[in-house]
Structure 1
Amino acid sequence: MALDPTPTSDRLSDYLAADAVVDHGHPAIRSLAAALRPGGEDPVEAAKTAFLFVRDEVEHVIDADDPRVTWRASDVLRERVGICYAKAHLLAALLRAQGIPAGFCYQELSALHGLNAVYLHGKWSRLDARGNRTGAGGEFSLDVEKLAWPVDTARGERDHPEIHPAPAPVVVDFLMTAAPGPGWYEKGLPRTL
């Protein structure tokens, strides 16, 4: 069953802000955001194009068996690899660079899973650009939630309904202190907020 996502801030401007993680003022982010939205096209199409870019053109470290650790949106773009959190950082940066409010959401699966929410047509919709390999099935939809994985409450999994304007500190701390190398994500991956 789809969750009713709830923003933790009532100011949309908080979901457009840049910071050290969502560095959407970076020239590479700005350039790609402009290329993904030529001629000021419809914001829904622009959001879908950005979503598909992050989902399909940025490898998930587990699927790629990649030893690199990325956390800043511009680094994720440069390296074209990231774990779910890092991919969410890039998607938020690309959307915010286009003036589309975007936030961060989480699920507790076997570990904490990061995804986004986007504000379009007067409502929030969750999007999961994790990448559709190894059984994941995230699709772009503003009407019907199509996340990478459904939550299985019988297994103790749960959705967090909150939409945060900034990535969770536990996620940022984990990524900033992770040592690159094979299977780095297996060492201390956050389990909860």
Structure 2
Amino acid sequence: MSPVPAPTSDRLGDYLAADAVVDHEHPLIRAWVDARRADGDDPVERAKTAYLFVRDEVEHVMDAQDSRVTWRASDVLRERVGICHAKAHLLAALLRAQGIPAGFCYQKFSVLHGLNAVYLHGRWSRLDARGNRTGARGEFSLDEEKLAWPVDAARGERDLPEIHPAPAPVVVDFLMTTRPGAGWYEKGLPTAL
């Protein structure tokens, strides 16, 4: 059973903030949001649209065997590629740009896996926009967790229940300092927060 997601900040505004990574005020992010304003005012539908876009239209570097390294949300949007953490940065930016609080969550496998939590209907729900290839099974659901990867406690894997307002510094530092190249994601992905 997955842990109940718990925010690390009691200020909902922290989950709407822009910074160098979640740069939701960037013109590319704003243009993406503005182009979808006609989709309606329902925040759940807007969140689902953003989720499906990131999951299905932004390639995961491992699936695509792509050598590019992206970490800033606007760069992920422009390049349409990123590792799970980068995709989570973009999803948070697209949600926050629409006034929907979003945070960052992690799972511990052999390395850290990044995903999001979204605050809708007065509660937090975790979403994993990793991309449904190579066995991943993430789906948009606010009622039941449908993450890309189930954890196996017998193998030492675990869900980390914290919802962080900003991406983990160890993840951002890794992505910012990694050089592009074949298989870069196999060389030193963080294993702990």
Who is 2:187 aligned against? 187
2:84–2:130 CA contact under 8 A, matched in 1: yes
2:39–2:46 CA contact under 8 A, matched in 1: no
1:9–1:164 CA contact under 8 A, matched in 2: yes
Deviations 1:75-120 (A, max 9, x none): 0000000000000000000000000000000000121000000000
Deviations 1:164-186 (A, max 9, x none): 00000000000000010000011
> Does 2:8 correspond to 1:8?
yes
- Secondary structure of 1:75's counterpart equals helix
- TM-score normalised by structure 2 residue count: 0.98
What is the Cα deviation at residue 39 of structure 1? 5.8
- Secondary structure of 2:29's counterpart equals helix
Q: Percent identity?
A: 82
- Secondary structure of 1:162's counterpart equals strand
Hey, what's the Cα distance between the residues in 2 that align with 1:26 and 1:91? 14
Moved more, 156-165 or 33-42: 33-42
1:36–1:50 CA contact under 8 A, matched in 2: no
Who is 1:135 aligned against? 135
Hey, what's the Cα distance between the residues in 2 that align with 1:37 and 1:21? 24
What is the Cα deviation at residue 37 of structure 1? 3.6
Who is 2:22 aligned against? 22
Matching residue's letter, 1:143:
D
Q: For 1:140-159, what aligned pairs fall within 5 Å after superposition?
A: 140-159=140-159
Hey, what's the Cα distance between the residues in 1 that align with 2:49 and 2:122? 20
Matching residue's letter, 1:59:
E
Who is 1:115 aligned against? 115
Matching residue's letter, 1:181:
G
Who is 2:75 aligned against? 75
Task: Structure 2 unaligned segments of length 5 or more: list them.
Answer: none
- TM-score normalised by structure 1 residue count: 0.98
1:34–1:98 CA contact under 8 A, matched in 2: no
Hey, what's the Cα distance between the residues in 2 that align with 1:35 and 1:169? 32
What is the alpha-carbon root mean square deviation over aligned residues?
A: 0.8
Who is 1:31 aligned against? 31
Question: How many aligned residue pairs are there?
Answer: 193
